[in-house]
């Protein structure tokens, strides 16, 4: 069957597009050649290959200069991939994420590092921390908080004992879909997903699948992988996971809250990437503990109020000493290079029995 012949106008436009594509390809390869030269300079100087602050500056500059009709968000996404591909020529970045393929953690890593990053899939967040701390991966991405279900407690516990610090974050809109081998929701015996996903969909599951077992697994993508092996099982996972494992999306976006976001932290060893300079819109994360005495927690807030520093998160975790002692995980707005933040942190540290600066990084949009 022959393809319908294009009209003269359409044929001419296609010739223009082909010509522009060739120009774009030439320019992209010229950019890549310069990026390789940059890589050689960085290698000689011993400076980090990946600079998220530099990526952010370039993307902001490009989007500001964009005259349209392309939308700014689309231009930003294109440039992130261009920079990721060029960085892969300088030095491929190995990033540990929760696996298998198709997790939201993987998606967060791609949003932050671009599609050219070399992803290392781990069975759980413990392995992500261990791989990053051991140097098997240069960076790691771990879930830390969900807008509906709260903190990922295991990640908080791991932060206490790891030498890694936080250098960035990704806030991801999470939509859970019911995935299955067959395209209906009948005779489902078990729904497999990460415990957080099961909790985020509990009302929908209680209403539509009240008799199905809710089976926690290490990740949503692992649930999708397993669901592909048994027609009586279903998974809660992303559309990306559905494509990855050849499953039908039986029901779309079944999370109980429409605005369901998960916050992921980007971690690395301090010598891999040091704390970036202030961006003007930063978050500083801490772990602290105080002596177990009346008013001790209240006293923690005094330096923050005194110097006008806003606290955006305050979580407690048992210290496991058997003495009813706790570690407190705190996020504040600002950068330690700012005088008021530095003064507040200095006084706060004097009140603490334990004090650890987890990291300072730009707040995700």
Per-residue pLDDT tens over the stretch 203-220: 999 999 999 999 999 999
* 326-355: average pLDDT: 94
Handedness of CA 150, 157, 126, 132 (dihedral sign): positive
Q: Per-residue pLDDT for 333 more than 70?
A: yes
* 41-75: pLDDT as tens digits: 988 888 888 888 888 888 889 999 999 899 998 99
**Residue 306's pLDDT is what?**
95
Which residue from 215, 210, 246 is spatially nearest to 229, judged by alpha carbons? 246
**Residue 46's pLDDT is what?**
82
Q: What percent of the chain has pLDDT over 70?
A: 96
Q: Per-residue pLDDT for 152 more than 90?
A: no
* 19-32: average pLDDT: 94
Q: Per-residue pLDDT for 40 more than 70?
A: yes
**Residue 358's pLDDT is what?**
94
**Residue 320's pLDDT is what?**
67
**Residue 138's pLDDT is what?**
95
Q: Per-residue pLDDT for 88 more than 90?
A: no
- Residue in the structure block whose two tokens are 């976001």: 261
For residues 164 and 132, give the distance between their C-alpha atoms in angstroms, rounded to a whole number: 7
**Highest-pLDDT range among 272-281, 313-322, 329-338:** 329-338
* 302-319: average pLDDT: 91
Q: How many Cβ atoms sit within 10 Å of the Cβ of residue 26?
A: 10
**Regarding predicted confidence, which is higher, 6 or 89?**
89
* 89-104: pLDDT as tens digits: 888 889 999 989 989 9
Which residue from 222, 227, 232 is spatially nearest to 185, judged by alpha carbons? 232
For residues 32 and 251, give the distance between their C-alpha atoms in angstroms, rounded to a whole number: 43
Please report which confidence band the pLDDT of residue 309 belongs to, taking 50, 70 and 90 as the band edges: very high
Q: Per-residue pLDDT for 298 more than 90?
A: no
Q: Where are the alpha helices (DSSP H) in the chain?
A: 8-45, 52-65, 72-90, 104-113, 125-134, 153-161, 195-200, 202-208, 220-227, 239-245, 296-306, 339-351
Q: Per-residue pLDDT for 243 more than 80?
A: yes
- At 179, which helix (H) or strand (E)? strand 177-180
**Residue 318's pLDDT is what?**
83
Q: How far is CA 59 from the centre of its chain?
A: 18
For residue 66 the two structure tokens come to: 């964009």
Please report which confidence band the pLDDT of residue 4 belongs to, taking 50, 70 and 90 as the band edges: low
For residues 42 and 55, give the distance between their C-alpha atoms in angstroms, rounded to a whole number: 16
Say what the pTM is: 0.84
For residues 191 and 175, give the distance between their C-alpha atoms in angstroms, rounded to a whole number: 16
**Residue 316's pLDDT is what?**
87
**Residue 269's pLDDT is what?**
96
For residues 160 and 75, give the distance between their C-alpha atoms in angstroms, rounded to a whole number: 38
Please report which confidence band the pLDDT of residue 325 belongs to, taking 50, 70 and 90 as the band edges: confident
- Give the burial string for 96-107 (b: 16+ CB within 10 Å, else e): bbbbbebbbbbb
Q: Per-residue pLDDT for 323 more than 60?
A: no
* 78-96: average pLDDT: 89
Handedness of CA 341, 345, 346, 348 (dihedral sign): positive
Per DSSP, what are the bridge partners of residue 262? 146, 172
Alpha-carbon separation of residue 275 from 157, 165, 255 (angstroms): 22, 9, 36
**Residue 5's pLDDT is what?**
64
Q: What percent of the chain has pLDDT over 90?
A: 65
* 308-332: average pLDDT: 83
Which residue from 201, 197, 218, 222 is spatially nearest to 210, judged by alpha carbons? 201
Q: Give the chain's mean pLDDT.
A: 91
Pairing of strands 118-122, 94-98: parallel
DSSP string, 8-71: HHHHHHHHHHHHHHHHHHHHHHHHHHHHHHHHHHHHHHT--S--HHHHHHHHHHHHHH--SSS-
Contact partners, residue 333, CB within 8 Å, separation at least 6: 282, 283, 284, 309, 310, 311, 312, 363
**Regarding predicted confidence, which is higher, 223 or 9?**
223
């Amino acid at each position: 069957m022959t393809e319908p012949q294009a009209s003269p106008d359409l044929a001419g436009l296609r010739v223009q597009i082909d010509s522009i594509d060739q120009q774009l390809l030439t320019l992209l390869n010229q950019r890549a050649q310069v990026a390789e030269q940059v890589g050689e300079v960085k290698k000689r100087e011993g400076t980090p290959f990946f600079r998220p602050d530099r990526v952010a500056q370039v993307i902001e500059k490009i989007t500001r200069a964009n005259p349209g009709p392309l939308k700014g968000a689309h231009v930003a996404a294109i440039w992130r991939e261009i920079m990721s591909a060029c960085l892969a020529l300088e030095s491929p970045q190995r990033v540990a994420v929760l696996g298998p393929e198709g997790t939201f953690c993987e998606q967060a890593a791609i949003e932050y590092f671009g599609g050219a990053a070399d992803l290392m899939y781990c069975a759980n967040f413990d392995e992500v921390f261990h791989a990053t701390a051991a140097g098997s991966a240069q960076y790691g991405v771990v879930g830390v908080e969900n807008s509906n279900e709260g903190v990922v407690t295991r990640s908080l516990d791991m932060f206490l004992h790891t030498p890694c610090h936080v250098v960035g974050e990704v806030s991801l809109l999470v939509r859970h879909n019911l995935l299955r081998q067959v395209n209906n929701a009948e005779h489902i015996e078990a729904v497999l997903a990460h415990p957080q996903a099961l909790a985020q969909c509990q009302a929908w599951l209680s209403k539509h699948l009240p008799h199905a077992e809710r089976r926690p697994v290490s990740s949503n993508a692992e649930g999708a992988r397993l669901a592909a092996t048994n027609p009586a099982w279903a998974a809660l996972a992303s559309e990306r996971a559905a494509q990855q494992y050849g499953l039908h999306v039986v029901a779309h976006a079944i999370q109980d809250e429409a605005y369901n976001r998960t916050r992921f932290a980007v971690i690395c060893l301090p010598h891999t990437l040091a704390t970036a300079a202030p961006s003007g819109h930063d978050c500083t994360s801490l772990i602290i503990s105080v002596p177990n005495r009346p008013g001790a927690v209240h006293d923690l807030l005094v330096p923050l109020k005194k110097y006008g520093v806003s606290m955006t998160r305050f979580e407690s975790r048992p210290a496991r000493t058997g003495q009813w002692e706790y570690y407190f995980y705190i996020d504040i707005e600002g950068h330690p290079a700012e005088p008021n933040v530095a003064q507040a942190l200095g006084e706060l540290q004097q009140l603490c029995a334990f004090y650890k600066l987890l990291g300072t990084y730009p707040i995700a949009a």
